[in-house]
C-alpha cells in the first residue's frame, strides 16, 4: 500500500476493485453506496486500533457503574467516538459474518453509528450476505491501511471525492455537483482567512466559528481548519476554528461527519466536532436559525431549481421580511444560488461582535440576472447598499469537474476596513491558470504561484491591471420610462370594418346591435376622423338609437384599435384634460447610471433622436421614491474590456491568399 499513499486516485482505484466482487449480484448504480461506507468504516477502525484493547477493558470495568462511561471511553481513545465491540473487519469470521458485523456497528458510539444509518448500511449488509460476498468485501477492506498517519486528511478528502466522482460517472448522476476543486477551495480559504493574520497573531489560540451551509464532504471546512493550523509555524499558538455545516444528501453528510469525528483539538481532545454537522435543506430547514458565525464558506449548486423549498422560502419572505433571510427579494425558481448568497450574508457575525467574513462560489448569473426591480436585482441592491460585498474574483473557465462555465468567488464582510468602505474590489483572474490533464471538464488549475498572486492583489486593494476598486454605486442605474405622443387618425373603410368584426367586444354584441352599428358606420365609409371622434360618435349613436343598448369602454377601444392609423406627421392626441396621450407602442426604457442626473442623460442621449419624447415621472422607485426603478448589475467586461484593433485589410487579404495557395497545393496532391 505504501506506493499508493501519495495518490488519492490510485488508492481509490485499489478500493474500487471491490466492484469486481459485486458484479453480477448488484447493479453498478449500487457500487458507490457499498464501497463508500466500507471505506469510512475502515478509516474509523484504523484510528481506533491503537486503543481498542484499552477501550474494551474500560468498558468491561465500568459498564455496571454509575459513572459517565461515554466520557471515560472518549478520554481513552483521545477522540470523540469509540467502539466497544469484540470484533474488527479482520475478525468477523466467515460463518456468522453478517451477525458479527451488525454487532460491530451497533457498538460504535452514537455519533459514529449515525454515519452508517445515513447509508442505510444495515440493509446493505443483509444484501451482501445474501449474495455471498459479505465476507470477501470485509476481508478486502481489512487489508487497507487508512490510518491518518498513513493517509493524511487531505489525501483522504481527495479519496472520498474521487470515489464519489467515479461513482457519479458510473451512474451518470450529478454526484460532483457539490464538489469544489481543491485549488478553488485553497484560494477561497486564503482570501477568507489571510486578512485576519494580525488578529490571530495578537490573540494566540483565538477561537472562531466557521460555517458552510452546503458542506458536502466537508472539503471547505477541513481546508480552512488545516489553513489556520499551519499558523502554528508562525505564531506561538494557532487559532482554532469550530466547524458548523449543513448538507442535504445523507451519504455526503455521512462523509463529512466522519471527517469531523476524526479531527481533534489539542486543547480539548474529546470535543466532538461532528455534532454541528446537520442534515437537511438549508433553504427550507435552517438547522442554525438565528445563529451567526465569524467565517462562512460555500459552493452551492449552480443553476439548481428551488421549487422543493419554495413553500418555506416564500413563507419566510412574506412573513418575516427583513427579519428573515430572504427579505430583499427572491430570484426566479430555476436558480436558487442567490438564496444561498442571502442566507450566508444573514449568518455573518454582527459588527459589534467582531463582524464576519464569508466566501461563496457562484456562477455568473447572480452578477446580472434580472432587470431593475426584479428579485435578483433587489438582492444585489441590498447587499451592495448595506456594504456587505468586499470583493468578487472572476475565476478561469474549465476549472470545475462538471462544467466549463465562468465562475466567481464573492467575498462578503460585515467588518470592512476603512479603506474598503462603500467600495467593491473586482479582480479579473480569468487569465491566471495552468493546463492539466482533463478530469471531466476540469482542464485547468490555479497554481500555488497564481493563487498567491490573486491573494496579493486582493490584499493590496488598489487599482491595477487585474484589479478595480469601485464605488458600489457604479453598479447601479435607474431604469426610466420614455414616452412619446400618440399621433393617430381614424380611417373608416372596408378593411377596418373587417378588423372591427374580429374584435372580442364586437363578438359580445347581440346580432341586432351589430346590425345597428353597421348602419351607423355606413355613412362614414371612406372618411377619416380625429382620434377623439370614436368616443363622441359612440355616445351620440347610442343616444339616437335605443336598440343599440349599453355601450362599454371596451367597444370604444375596439373601434380605435380597428380604425386607428398612426400618422407620424399628425398632431399629438390629447385627453379630456388637455394632456398629451402617450403611444404605448412607442414606449421605451433607458438605463441611466445612478451617479448621473437622469435629465442630463435624457437631453444628451434621447432628445437628439426623438425630440417629442418625455420622461414618465410616475414610473418611480418604491424605496427612494426617485424617478425610475433602481437596478444593480455587476458587469466585469465594462471595467476590464480592452479594445483590440481589427487586422488591416491588406493583412486579411495576404492571409486569404496564403490559405488559397495551401488549398490549391493540397488539391494538386489529390489529383496527381
- pLDDT digits 0-9 by tens, 149-178: 888 877 777 777 777 766 655 544 444 444
Q: What is the dihedral of CA 430, 435, 437, 441, to 10 degrees?
A: 10
CA-atom Rg of the chain in angstroms: 35
Mean pLDDT lowest for which of 338-352, 382-396, 657-671? 657-671
Spatial contact of 118 and 172, defined as CB atoms under 8 Å apart? no
pLDDT band at 1 (very low <50, low <70, confident <90, very high): very low
Closest C-alpha among 355, 350, 328 to residue 339: 328
When pLDDT is averaged across residues 68-84 and rounded to a whole number, the result is 91
Q: Which three cell numbers stand for residue 94?
A: 466467515
- Position 226 scores a pLDDT of 87
Most confident of 165-179, 258-272, 308-322, 575-589: 308-322
Cα gap 549→510, rounded to integer Å: 9
- Position 336 scores a pLDDT of 94
When pLDDT is averaged across residues 418-436 and rounded to a whole number, the result is 95
Cα gap 506→500, rounded to integer Å: 7
Question: Residue 611 above 80 pLDDT?
Answer: yes
More confident residue, 611 or 661: 611
Cα gap 270→263, rounded to integer Å: 10
How many Å is the maximal CA-CA distance in the chain?
114
Q: What SS3 class is residue 466?
A: coil
Cα gap 443→364, rounded to integer Å: 19
Question: Residue 632 above 80 pLDDT?
Answer: yes
Question: Residue 218 above 70 pLDDT?
Answer: yes
What is the percent of the chain with per-residue pLDDT over 90, rounded to a whole number?
65
Q: Which three cell numbers stand for residue 634?
A: 455587476
Alpha helices in 172-291 (DSSP H): 182-193, 197-202, 219-229, 250-261
Beta bridge partners of 265: 268
Beta-carbon neighbour count of residue 608 at 10 Å? Answer: 8
Residue count of the chain, please give it.
672
Alpha helices in 107-152 (DSSP H): 110-118, 121-130, 134-142
Cα gap 25→133, rounded to integer Å: 9
Give per-residue burial for 124-142: e unless 16+ CB within 10 Å, then b.
Answer: bbeebbeeebbbebbebbb
Render pLDDT for 583-593 as a digit per residue (tens, 0 to 9): 999 999 999 99
Q: How are beta strands 240-247 and 207-212 bridged, if at all?
A: parallel
Most confident of 114-123, 401-410, 548-557: 114-123
Q: Which three cell numbers stand for residue 268?
A: 480539548
- Position 174 scores a pLDDT of 44
- Position 172 scores a pLDDT of 40
Cα gap 359→193, rounded to integer Å: 10
Render pLDDT for 336-364 as a digit per residue (tens, 0 to 9): 999 999 999 999 999 999 999 999 999 99
Beta bridge partners of 470: 424
- Position 173 scores a pLDDT of 46
Spatial contact of 634 and 392, defined as CB atoms under 8 Å apart? yes
Render pLDDT for 559-582 as a digit per residue (tens, 0 to 9): 999 999 998 888 999 988 889 999
When pLDDT is averaged across residues 232-244 and rounded to a whole number, the result is 82
Residue 20, judged by CB atoms within 10 A of its CB (0-12, 13-18, 19+), counts as exposed
pLDDT band at 544 (very low <50, low <70, confident <90, very high): confident
Question: Residue 234 above 90 pLDDT?
Answer: no
Q: Residue 121 CA to chain centroid, in angstroms? A: 32
Beta-carbon neighbour count of residue 17 at 10 Å? Answer: 11
Mean pLDDT of the chain, nearest integer: 90
List Cβ neighbours of 17 (8 Å cut-off, separation of 6 or more).
140
Question: Residue 671 above 80 pLDDT?
Answer: no
Question: Residue 488 above 90 pLDDT?
Answer: yes
Q: CA triplet 22, 28, 33: central angle to 5 degrees?
A: 80
Closest C-alpha among 317, 472, 470 to residue 380: 472
Render pLDDT for 496-511 as a digit per residue (tens, 0 to 9): 999 999 999 999 998 8
- Position 12 scores a pLDDT of 76
Beta-carbon neighbour count of residue 462 at 10 Å? Answer: 11
pLDDT band at 8 (very low <50, low <70, confident <90, very high): low
Amino acid at each position: 500500500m505504501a506506493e499508493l499513499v501519495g495518490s488519492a486516485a490510485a488508492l481509490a482505484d485499489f478500493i474500487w476493485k471491490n466492484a469486481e466482487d459485486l458484479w453480477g449480484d448488484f447493479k453498478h448504480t449500487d457500487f458507490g453506496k457499498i464501497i463508500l461506507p466500507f471505506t469510512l468504516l475502515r478509516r474509523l477502525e484504523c484510528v481506533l486500533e491503537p486503543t481498542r484493547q484499552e477501550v474494551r477493558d474500560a468498558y468491561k470495568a465500568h459498564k455496571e457503574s454509575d459513572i459517565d462511561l461515554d466520557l471515560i471511553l472518549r478520554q481513552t481513545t483521545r477522540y470523540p467516538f469509540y467502539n466497544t465491540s469484540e470484533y474488527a473487519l479482520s475478525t468477523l469470521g466467515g460463518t456468522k459474518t453478517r451477525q458479527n458485523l451488525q454487532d460491530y456497528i451497533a457498538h460504535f458510539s452514537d455519533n459514529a453509528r449515525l454515519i452508517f444509518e445515513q447509508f442505510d448500511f444495515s440493509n446493505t449488509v443483509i444484501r451482501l450476505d445474501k449474495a455471498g460476498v459479505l465476507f470477501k468485501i470485509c476481508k478486502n477492506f481489512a487489508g487497507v491501511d487508512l490510518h491518518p498517519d498513513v493517509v493524511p486528511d487531505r489525501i483522504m478528502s481527495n479519496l472520498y471525492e474521487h470515489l464519489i466522482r467515479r461513482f457519479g460517472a458510473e451512474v451518470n448522476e450529478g454526484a460532483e455537483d457539490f464538489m469544489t476543486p481543491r485549488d478553488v477551495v485553497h484560494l477561497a480559504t486564503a482570501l477568507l482567512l489571510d486578512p485576519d493574520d494580525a488578529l490571530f497573531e495578537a490573540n494566540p489560540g483565538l477561537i472562531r466559528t466557521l460555517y458552510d451551509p452546503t458542506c458536502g464532504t466537508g472539503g471547505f471546512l477541513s481546508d480552512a481548519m488545516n489553513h489556520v493550523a499551519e499558523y502554528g509555524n508562525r505564531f506561538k499558538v494557532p487559532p482554532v476554528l469550530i466547524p458548523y455545516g449543513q448538507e442535504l444528501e445523507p451519504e455526503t453528510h455521512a462523509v463529512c461527519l466522519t471527517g469531523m469525528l476524526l479531527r481533534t483539538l489539542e486543547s480539548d481532545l474529546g470535543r466532538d466536532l461532528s455534532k454541528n454537522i446537520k442534515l437537511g435543506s438549508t433553504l427550507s430547514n435552517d438547522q442554525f436559525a438565528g445563529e451567526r458565525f465569524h467565517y462562512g464558506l460555500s459552493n452551492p449548486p449552480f443553476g439548481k431549481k428551488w421549487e422543493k423549498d419554495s413553500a418555506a422560502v416564500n413563507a419566510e419572505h412574506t412573513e418575516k421580511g427583513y427579519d428573515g433571510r430572504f427579505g430583499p427579494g427572491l430570484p426566479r425558481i430555476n436558480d436558487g444560488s442567490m438564496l444561498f448568497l442571502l442566507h450566508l450574508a444573514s449568518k455573518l457575525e454582527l459588527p459589534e461582535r467582531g463582524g464576519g467574513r464569508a466566501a461563496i462560489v457562484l456562477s455568473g448569473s447572480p452578477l446580472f440576472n434580472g432587470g431593475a426591480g426584479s428579485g435578483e436585482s433587489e438582492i444585489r441592491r441590498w447587499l451592495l447598499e448595506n456594504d456587505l460585498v468586499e470583493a468578487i474574483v472572476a475565476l478561469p473557465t474549465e476549472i470545475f469537474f462538471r462544467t466549463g462555465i465562468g465562475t466567481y468567488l464573492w467575498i462578503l464582510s460585515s467588518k470592512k476596513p476603512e479603506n474598503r468602505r462603500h467600495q467593491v474590489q473586482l479582480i479579473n483572474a480569468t487569465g491566471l491558470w495552468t493546463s492539466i490533464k482533463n478530469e471531466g471538464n476540469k482542464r485547468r488549475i490555479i497554481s500555488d504561484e497564481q493563487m498567491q498572486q490573486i491573494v496579493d492583489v486582493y490584499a493590496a486593494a488598489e487599482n491595477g491591471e487585474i484589479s478595480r476598486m469601485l464605488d458600489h454605486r457604479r453598479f447601479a442605474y435607474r431604469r426610466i420610462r420614455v414616452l412619446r405622443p400618440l399621433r393617430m387618425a381614424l380611417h373608416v373603410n372596408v378593411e377596418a370594418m373587417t378588423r372591427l368584426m374580429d374584435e372580442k367586444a364586437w363578438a359580445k354584441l347581440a346580432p341586432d346591435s351589430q346590425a345597428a352599428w353597421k348602419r351607423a358606420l355606413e355613412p362614414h365609409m371612406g372618411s377619416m376622423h380625429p382620434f377623439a371622434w370614436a368616443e363622441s360618435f359612440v355616445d351620440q349613436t347610442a343616444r339616437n338609437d335605443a336598440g343599440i343598448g349599453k355601450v362599454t369602454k371596451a367597444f370604444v377601444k375596439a373601434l380605435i384599435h380597428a380604425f386607428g392609423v398612426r400618422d407620424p406627421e399628425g398632431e399629438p392626441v390629447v385627453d379630456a384634460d388637455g394632456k398629451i396621450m402617450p403611444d404605448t407602442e412607442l414606449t421605451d426604457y433607458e438605463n441611466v447610471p445612478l451617479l448621473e442626473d437622469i435629465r442630463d442623460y435624457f437631453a444628451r442621449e434621447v432628445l437628439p433622436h426623438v425630440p417629442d419624447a418625455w420622461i414618465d415621472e410616475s414610473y418611480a422607485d418604491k424605496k427612494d421614491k426617485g424617478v425610475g426603478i433602481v437596478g444593480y448589475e455587476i458587469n466585469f467586461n465594462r471595467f476590464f474590456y480592452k479594445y483590440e484593433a481589427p487586422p488591416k485589410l491588406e493583412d486579411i487579404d495576404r492571409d486569404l491568399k496564403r490559405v488559397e495557395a495551401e488549398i490549391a497545393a493540397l488539391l494538386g496532391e489529390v489529383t496527381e
